[in-house]
Structure 1
Amino acid sequence: MGVDDWHLTEDVDAFLARSRDFLHSRPALHTLVLTATEALRSRKTAPGAEAPIFGWLECGGEVRAALFRTPPRRLNLTPLNPEHADLLAARLSRLGHPLPGVTAVPDTAAAFAESWSRHTGAAATLRDRRRLYRLGTLTPPEPSPAGRGRVAGDEDQEQVALWNHEFAVAIGEATSAPAAKFAGYRRFTFWELEDGTPVSMAGATPMVAGQIRVGPVYTPAHLRRRGYAGAVTAEASRAAQDAGADEVLLFTDLANPTSNSVYQRIGYVPVTDFTAFDFA
C-alpha cells in the first residue's frame, strides 16, 4: 500500500460515482461528507474561489474511506487507521496542499494531526470537540414556551442570513459571505412569539441517504434560557421525520453542557464524537 491508494479529484460527481455506496453504507457517520457534497452539487464554485477537493481510499477494489475540503474550511475525514492517515498526510504534503486543520472522529483526527505535523512541521492545536446525536423518540418540551413554530419563507431571508452570520461569529467561523453556505440549501424553522416576532431558528439539511441533519440552531443571546431553542429544534426535528427521514441527526459543542442537555431531553441520543484541530 502506498500514497497512490488515495485518489483525489475536484469533480464532485466523479467522487460520488466512486464513493456513493461507501458513504451510504453508514449515513450517520458520514453525514458531513454526504450533506456537503449534496450542497456542492446544487451550486457552482464562485469565480476565483479555490476549488473544493475530494478523495477516497481504495483497497482491494473497495472504497474504505473518504475526504472532502471546501476552502477555507478544514479537511474532513471519515474514520481511518493511523497508517492510512499517515499515507494521506504524506500525499497531501507532497502535493503542496495547504490545510488549516482537520475534523474527524477523535482517533482519526489525532492520528492525521500528528502525521501532518511530522510531514510539514506545522503545529496542531485542538480546536473543539463535538458530539453527533441521533433522534430517538421525539419529546417536545413541556411546558412549551410561548409562541409557535413556523417555516421560514422567502420574506425571511434577511433574518436567516443575519442569524447565520451571528452563529458563525459565535463559533469562530465567520466568512466574508456568511449566508452563502446556507442560501437556497437548508430549510429553516423559526420559533416566533404570538405577535410574529422570531426569537429562535433551526436549520435542516435536505435528505440524502435517508438522513437529515438539524442545524444550525441559534437564539440571540438576550433571548436565551427561555426554552426557545428546544422548542424550535423539536419543530425542525418533527418536520424531518414527517419528510420521511430514517435518521434525524444534529451536532453539539461538547463545551456547551446546556445545549447537550436540551437536545437529550427532547429525544436525541449520542452516536459518536468528532474532534477538530487547527494547523499553524
Structure 2
Amino acid sequence: MKCKLYQTPQDFLEDNRGFLLKYEAAVQLNMGNAQSHSGEACHPGLLFGRYEEQGEPLLLFGNTLPWNLCLNAVPGETHAPAAATELAKHLKQSGIVIHGLNARKDLCEAFLPAYGGTFHMRTGMDVMVLEVLIEPPRAPGHVRKAVPADLGMLTEWGLAFQREAVHESPSEKEIQEKFSQYVEKETVYLFEQPDGTAVSLAASNRALPHGAGISWVYTPPEHRGHGYAQCTVAEICREKLAEGKKYCTLFVDKANPISNKIYQKIGFQILEDCFDYKLNEEDGV
C-alpha cells in the first residue's frame, strides 16, 4: 500500500479521472473541492492524494480547509479501511490540521480511532441518485427561478435549513452572500402557490460531468405535507435530464426517513451512506 500526494488539485483530478467519472455521484464533494482550487498549489490545508496498490487507487482523500477531510473508495473495497487508518496516522504524525471528516461509515470507523481526539457526528446521510424521473402528483402552483427580490426570504430559509439540518447557526451575512451568488447563477428554484406565495426551496449548484447535484431543499414547517418540495425537486430533475444530464443526486438525512421515502417515490435510489463528523476544537492539532 503506497501513499501518493499531488502537487496541485488539477494533478489529482487528472490522475484519478477514471475513478472520479465512474463514481462521480459518490465522490462529488472531493471532486468539487478539487475543481474549485484546480489552479492552486497544494499545501497542508489544501491536500489531495490517494492510497494505491499496484498502481490502482484504494482510497482518495482531499483536505480543503475550512471544509472537512473527504474520503472516497471503491464500493465494497475491503482494503480501503486499512488505507483510511494509515492516512489518519500520517496526518496526525505530520501535524496536518483537519476540521472534520466526511466519508462512508466503514471509512469513518477506521479513520476516527486511528486519528484520536473527540469527534461528534453532525449528520448521517444517504447519497441518492435519480436516473429516470417518476412524475409526482401535481400540487397547486408552479416552480420558478428565484430573483434578487427573494434574497431576504432565501437568507431566512437558508439559516433555518442550517439550524435544522446540521444544528449550526452560520452568520446571516454568510448565507446571504451564498444565496446572492446562487440567484445570480440562476440555480435557486422556488415553488410558488397560485396567489404568488413562495412555499418551498431547492437549489442545483453543483454541476458534475454527467449529473446535477441538488441541495438546500427546504420547506417552512407551516407549508409541509403538501408535496411542494417533491414537486420542486422533480422540476429540477426534469430540467437537468432534458438538458442531457444522466442523473441527479442529493443528500438525505438518515434521521428523516420521510424525506427518503418522498424522494424514492419520484425515482431516487440510495447509492451510498455518507457521515459528517466534526473534530472538537480542543482536540485539534
The equivalences for 1:1-280 within 5 A come to: 1=1, 5-7=3-5, 11-40=8-37, 51-79=45-73, 81-117=80-116, 122-142=117-137, 144-170=138-164, 171-176=166-171, 177-180=174-177, 183-184=181-182, 187-280=187-280
CA–CA distance in 1 between the matches of 2:177 and 2:17? 25
1:77–1:103 CA contact under 8 A, matched in 2: yes
Q: Name which of structure 1's ranges 130-139 and 174-183 shifts more when overlaid on structure 2.
A: 174-183
**1:17 maps to amino acid:** E
Q: Secondary structure at the match of 1:103?
A: strand
C-alpha displacement of 1:74: 2.0
Specify every segment of 5 or more residues in structure 2 that has no aligned partner in the other structure, as ranges: 74-78, 281-285
CA–CA distance in 1 between the matches of 2:61 and 2:158? 25
C-alpha displacement of 1:234: 0.9
C-alpha displacement of 1:264: 1.0
Question: If the length of structure 1 is used for normalisation, what is the TM-score?
Answer: 0.83
C-alpha displacement of 1:130: 0.8
Aligned residues: 266
**1:13 maps to amino acid:** Q
2:206–2:214 CA contact under 8 A, matched in 1: no
Q: Secondary structure at the match of 2:123?
A: strand
CA–CA distance in 1 between the matches of 2:27 and 2:148? 30
2:10–2:35 CA contact under 8 A, matched in 1: no
Task: Return closer, same or farther for 1:51/1:86 CA change in 2, 3 Å cut-off.
Answer: closer
Q: Name which of structure 1's ranges 169-178 and 220-229 shifts more when overlaid on structure 2.
A: 169-178
CA–CA distance in 2 between the matches of 1:37 and 1:154? 29
Q: Deviations over 1:222-275 (max 9, x none)?
A: 222222111111111111212211121111001002211111111111112112
CA–CA distance in 2 between the matches of 1:231 and 1:250? 15
C-alpha displacement of 1:156: 3.5
CA–CA distance in 1 between the matches of 2:167 and 2:62? 21
Q: Deviations over 1:198-236 (max 9, x none)?
A: 111111134322011111201122222222111111111
Task: Return closer, same or farther for 1:156/1:88 CA change in 2, 3 Å cut-off.
Answer: same
CA–CA distance in 2 between the matches of 1:54 and 1:106? 21
**2:243 maps to amino acid:** A
CA–CA distance in 2 between the matches of 1:273 and 1:22? 18
**1:72 maps to amino acid:** P
Task: Return closer, same or farther for 1:20/1:244 CA change in 2, 3 Å cut-off.
Answer: same
Q: Deviations over 1:156-196 (max 9, x none)?
A: 44443433232122222443423555634671111011232
1:129–1:275 CA contact under 8 A, matched in 2: yes
The percent identity for this pair of structures is: 28
C-alpha displacement of 1:106: 0.9
Q: CA RMSD in A?
A: 2.6
Task: Return closer, same or farther for 1:92/1:165 CA change in 2, 3 Å cut-off.
Answer: same
CA–CA distance in 2 between the matches of 1:8 and 1:181? 30
